[in-house]
């Protein structure tokens, strides 16, 4: 297994998508990239720690490549806005790729330069940074869309449309028996 750590707005959105991808064996919502030595939702949501809401993916590179994970990433969030995804505003919602080694860094830089421009008209402002720490989010944030999505208006109006778009665009990457 390999790790990928990505921030693209609310971690619930990214978690919901990557949980349906063949080859992604686990998705953990959490926090990374901040100035404080610890992170929790209260601190991070204040915007003062500079942590981003992220997902950490445990993936099988024989089933899905890091390049493919990043291609999905560019499609499922807007990498052209600084510290913002839709109505979610603040550094915790920034677009960021935290790399785990120099190979991931090179792949991320190439993907940002070559793949993102084919999807977005404006340039990607996505940060590409070494991962210096990861803090797992509180239990109630894990598997959020699966557990709470149907009862939460945010999920209905923000995540569900992203999921439908993702499922149409990446149908061949969906786990068997997944989707709506």
Give the sign of the dihedral formed by CA 162, CA 147, CA 137, CA 130. Answer: negative
Q: Phi and psi dihedrals of 30, rounded to 5?
A: -170, -160
What is d(CA 22, CA 13) in angstroms, rounded to the nearest whole number?
Answer: 17
Report the candidate in 65, 97, 74 with the shortest Cα–Cα distance to residue 173: 65
3-state SS, residue 123: coil
10 classed as catalytic: yes
Q: Which residues pair with 58 in a beta bridge?
A: 3, 26
Q: What is the Cα–Cα distance from 131 to 134, expressed in whole angstroms? A: 7
10, 13, 129, 155: which one is catalytic? 10
| Residue 122 to residue 74: CA distance in whole angstroms | 12
Residues belonging to the active site: 10
């Amino acid at each position: 297994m390999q790790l990928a750590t990505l921030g693209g707005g609310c971690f619930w959105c990214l978690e919901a998508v990557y949980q349906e991808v063949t080859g992604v064996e686990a998705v953990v919502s959490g926090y990374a990239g901040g100035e404080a030595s610890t992170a929790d939702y209260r601190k991070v949501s204040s915007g003062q720690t500079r942590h981003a809401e992220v997902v950490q993916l445990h993936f099988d590179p024989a089933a899905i490549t890091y390049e493919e994970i990043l291609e999905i990433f560019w499609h499922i969030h807007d990498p052209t806005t600084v510290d913002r995804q839709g109505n979610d505003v603040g550094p915790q919602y920034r677009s960021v790729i935290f790399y785990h080694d120099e190979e991931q860094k090179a792949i991320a830089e190439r993907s940002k330069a070559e793949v993102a421009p084919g999807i977005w008209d404006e340039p990607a402002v996505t940060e590409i940074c070494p991962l210096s720490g990861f803090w797992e989010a509180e239990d109630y944030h894990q598997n959020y869309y699966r557990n709470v999505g149907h009862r939460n208006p945010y999920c209905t109006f923000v995540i569900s449309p992203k999921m439908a778009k993702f499922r149409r665009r990446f149908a061949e990457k969906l786990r068997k028996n997944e989707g709506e």
